[in-house]
Structure 1
Amino acid sequence: MYQAKTRQIIVTVKPAYLEEQSEPSENRWVWAYRVEIENAGEVTVQLESRYWEITDASGHIETVAGPGVVGEQPVILPGDSFTYTSGCPLSTPSGIMRGRYQMRTDEGEAFEVEIPAFSLDLPTDNRVLN
């Protein structure tokens, strides 16, 4: 697991290789990643948008940005958390993801929350990035 903390918001990511969805002979490797966003602070926050930077083993970088996550813009109360699962295909057998969320407090203050960089590696390989 990978974890980062920004302003009492703790983001934990756990990636998993999806062998059944991958086709190495066609240069397609697929991972799922589970993200938990925990509000350890004292103010309510809402996740408004996300930004991801995905780098494959050959150094190709793809960015993904947009509103919310998995079609939601969750409101996270103090002491509460929000968990979701998403996925990422790569054209190489390893890579790395990193990013950030744009959050807003219930008082209207906007701020960014770091998503920890995490490796996408085959279970049979040693981690080579991150």
Structure 2
Amino acid sequence: MVSQITSDVKISVESIYQPEYSNPDNLHYMYAYRITIENQSAETLQLLRRHWEIFDAIGEHKQVDGEGVVGQQPILEPNQVHQYASGCNLRSAMGYMEGFYEMQRLSDGELFAIAIPRFILIADFVLN
């Protein structure tokens, strides 16, 4: 697990290779990840957008932008936690993701970015 705190919001990420959904012979490697967002600030915040940078070991790079996370734009009260799971496919057995969330402080409407720490995507068989 990797974690990072930006502007009193802690992002933690766990990732896992999913061999049952992968097909290495066709350069299809599937990974799942779970993200925990902890609002450690004294303000109520809303997650509006996400931006991902996705890299794999064969040099491919993708950018993904979108509204919210898994169809939601969660509002987090002070000390509240939001967790969600999603997935990513690569064309290689290794890669990584990183990015940021665009958040809004509801008291004054200020927008700001929260870093999503870099996390590794690696197939179990690579480690043996």
Same fold by TM-score greater than 0.5: yes
> 2:75 matched to which residue of 1?
75
Q: Deviations over 1:29-62 (max 9, x none)?
A: 0000000000011001000000000001012110
Structure 1 gap ranges (5+): none
Structure 2 gap ranges (5+): none
Q: Deviations over 1:4-27 (max 9, x none)?
A: 110110000000110100001111
TM-score (norm 1): 0.94
Cα separation, 2, equivalents of 1:55 and 1:66: 18
1:109 matches 2:105: no
Question: Quick check: 2:43–2:105 contact (8 Å CA) kept in 1?
Answer: yes
SS of corresponding position for 1:20: helix
- Return the offset for 1:125: 2.6
SS of corresponding position for 1:124: helix
> 1:122 matched to which residue of 2?
123
1:22 matches 2:22: yes
Identity of aligned residues (%): 39
> 2:55 matched to which residue of 1?
55
The within-5 A match list for 1:26-37 is 26-37=26-37
Question: Quick check: 2:93–2:126 contact (8 Å CA) kept in 1?
Answer: no
Cα separation, 2, equivalents of 1:46 and 1:55: 28
Cα separation, 2, equivalents of 1:66 and 1:16: 23
Cα separation, 1, equivalents of 2:25 and 2:58: 17
- Return the offset for 1:123: 1.8
Question: Quick check: 2:39–2:78 contact (8 Å CA) kept in 1?
Answer: yes
Moved over 2 A (4+): none
> 2:7 matched to which residue of 1?
7
SS of corresponding position for 1:59: coil
TM-score (norm 2): 0.96
